[in-house]
Amino acid sequence: MLAYYKELIYYVQRMVGDKDNAKDVVQEAYSRVIHVDNKTTISNKRAYLYKMVRNIVIDDVRKNKNIAKIAYEEEQFVIPSNEQPDELTVEINTQKVLMSIVQNLPTRSKQAFIFHILEGYSRKEIALKMGINISTVDKHITHATLKIKKELEEQ
């Protein structure tokens, strides 16, 4: 489980905008998992940890009533897997629509979006992979995000 520590901090930091707060959230998640882990078996610990840190951030935001702290990033594109059957069907359909929209994006925007949102690469890593500068990566990700939002709103 400790193998996910750095990526969880990075994930949470993008939501809360502060590395110290991100570390606190991840530490809280690990503390909770230790208690749950003794009572039940968790089949996918990585997914469980991601869901838990996300929920801790949301709980903190609700408690502090400061919604502006959550960044737009991948929160809009994560499809939860622990839903009821009818909810899962809706989620699967939404995921299919989302993937269809992603496939129709311009090539460079699609690449940057997939690297960042789906594969978790940093903007710097994407810039190196694609041979472009970081500001261009940001433009591609922003373009893809706006295009996806627009397409989803039209449906």
The CATH number given to whatever domain includes residue 7 is 1.10.1740
Q: The tokens of 121 are what?
A: 């690469």
pLDDT digits (tens, 9 = 90+) for 11-27: 888 877 788 888 999 99
Residues 92 and 22 both lie in one domain: no
Token pair listed for 127: 């810039």
CB burial string 109-122: b at 16+ within 10 A, e below:
bbbbbbbbbeeebe
Clarify whether residues 38 and 85 are in a common domain.
no
How big is the chain by its Cα radius of gyration, in Å? 17
* 88 shares its domain with 135: yes
Note whether 132 and 149 are same-domain residues. yes
- What SS3 class is residue 122? coil
* Domain closes at, from 69, 96, 119: 69
How high does pLDDT run on average in the chain? 78
- pLDDT, one tens digit per residue, over 64-84 is 654 444 444 444 445 444 545
Task: Give yes or no: residues 64 and 84 share one domain.
Answer: no
Q: How many residues does the chain have?
A: 155
The pTM of the full predicted model, rounded to 2 decimals, is 0.45
Domain with 14, as residue range(s), is 2-69
Same domain, 48 and 99: no
